[in-house]
Amino acid sequence: MSVPASGPVRIPSTEGVEVAAHDLGGDGPPLVLVHATGFCGAVLGPLARALDDRFHSWAIDVRGHGATVTPDGLDFRWTGFSDDVLAVLAGLGLEDAYGFGHSSGGAAVLDAEARRPGTFRALYCYEPIVWPSPPPPGSRDRLVEGARRRRDLFSSRHEARANFAAKRPFSGFASAALDAYLACGFEETDGDGSVRLRCRREWEAAIYRQGLGHDGFSRLGSVTCPVVVAAGDRWEAFGPEVTAGQVAALPQARSETFPGLGHLGPMEDPPAVARSVARAFAS
């Protein structure tokens, strides 16, 4: 399976956003993949490749990320991410689709289904950022300040790769997932080979500022399709009580835990997560 050379389809969403949807190919019913904050749809390409005999996968770049056209001045309320998911499903005419969401992407597919029940046949969410209770004090400030300090300019993609491959969490990525991040998460600047993050530091900070206070948990009861809430056992983003609270709030849900994986598990071990997705949707 390969990404078509023609590039992404762009679909109008709310607030002037034009969402990039990438056709990753494969055979079977549609599977819509939604990435975590700071990343882009292509990082889930290795996961899609492991599922291409079962599903036809589409990866979305939500607002502020990847190849999606994002106007200046957005406040990045998280309902905008579910707007983007719903826009792509409608724009591509995808019916009875399966959905996979990672972190903020998990929150997006859950909220899309809550707002428009019947959108998805079933969902698989890896550590969705949907808080049953207020997050720990200081969590928001640490994430916001970390985003503001993030290095966003490199002299080349080679330099960027060397930088990320040498430190956590990127050093734990599967090689194909890291390569995909470098390809879709950066854009060339002045024609001299230098590259800059597509998810601007101020955008990522705004996303974190909104994300630890959104009200998506209050709508989980409206998600009536089957849901798997998965997590790694390193508990970097939150603990098992958060997963348990999410499962309890969802009408048809169960949990699954991956030994040895952290919050970025779908990029750390795409084949293992893909096997779990295949089992979940087969049932």
Q: What is the pLDDT of residue 3?
A: 39
Q: What is the pLDDT of residue 6?
A: 61
- Is 48 inside any structural domain? yes
CA 10 to chain centre: 18
- Is 189 inside any structural domain? no
CATH code of the domain containing 248: 3.40.50.1820
Q: Report the residue count for the chain.
A: 283
Q: What is the pLDDT of residue 144?
A: 87
In the chain, the number of structural domains is 1
Q: Is the peptide bond before 169 cis (omega within 30 degrees of 0)?
A: yes
The mean of the pLDDT values for the chain is 93
- Is 150 inside any structural domain? no
User: Average pLDDT by consecutive 10-residue portion of the chain (283 residues)?
Assistant: 63 98 97 97 97 98 97 94 98 96 98 97 97 74 86 92 89 95 91 91 92 87 97 88 96 97 97 98 92
- What tens digit of pLDDT does each residue of 87-101 get? 999 999 999 999 999
User: CA–CA separation, 171 vs 166, rounded Å?
Assistant: 6
For 78, the token pair is 């998280």
Strand partners, 257: 231
- Is 77 inside any structural domain? yes
Tokens 């050379």: give the residue.
Answer: 5
148 and 202 Cβ atoms separated by less than 8 Å:
yes
For 210, the token pair is 């909104």
Q: What is the pLDDT of residue 211?
A: 79
Q: What is the pLDDT of residue 56?
A: 98
Q: What is the pLDDT of residue 137?
A: 65
- Is 57 inside any structural domain? yes
- Is 242 inside any structural domain? yes
For 208, the token pair is 């974190």
SS3 readout for 67-135: CCECCCCCCCCCHHHHHHHHHHHHHHCCCCEEEEEECHHHHHHHHHHHHCCCCEEEEEEECCCCCCCCC
Q: Which domain holds residue 112?
A: 9-135+210-282
- Is 184 inside any structural domain? no
26 and 46 Cβ atoms separated by less than 8 Å:
no
Q: What is the pLDDT of residue 172?
A: 93
Look at the alpha carbons of 207, 33, 130, 114 in this order and tell me if their dihedral is positive or negative: positive
DSSP, collapsed to helix, strand or coil, labels residue 221 as: helix
- Is 144 inside any structural domain? no
Can you give the pTM of this predicted structure?
0.94
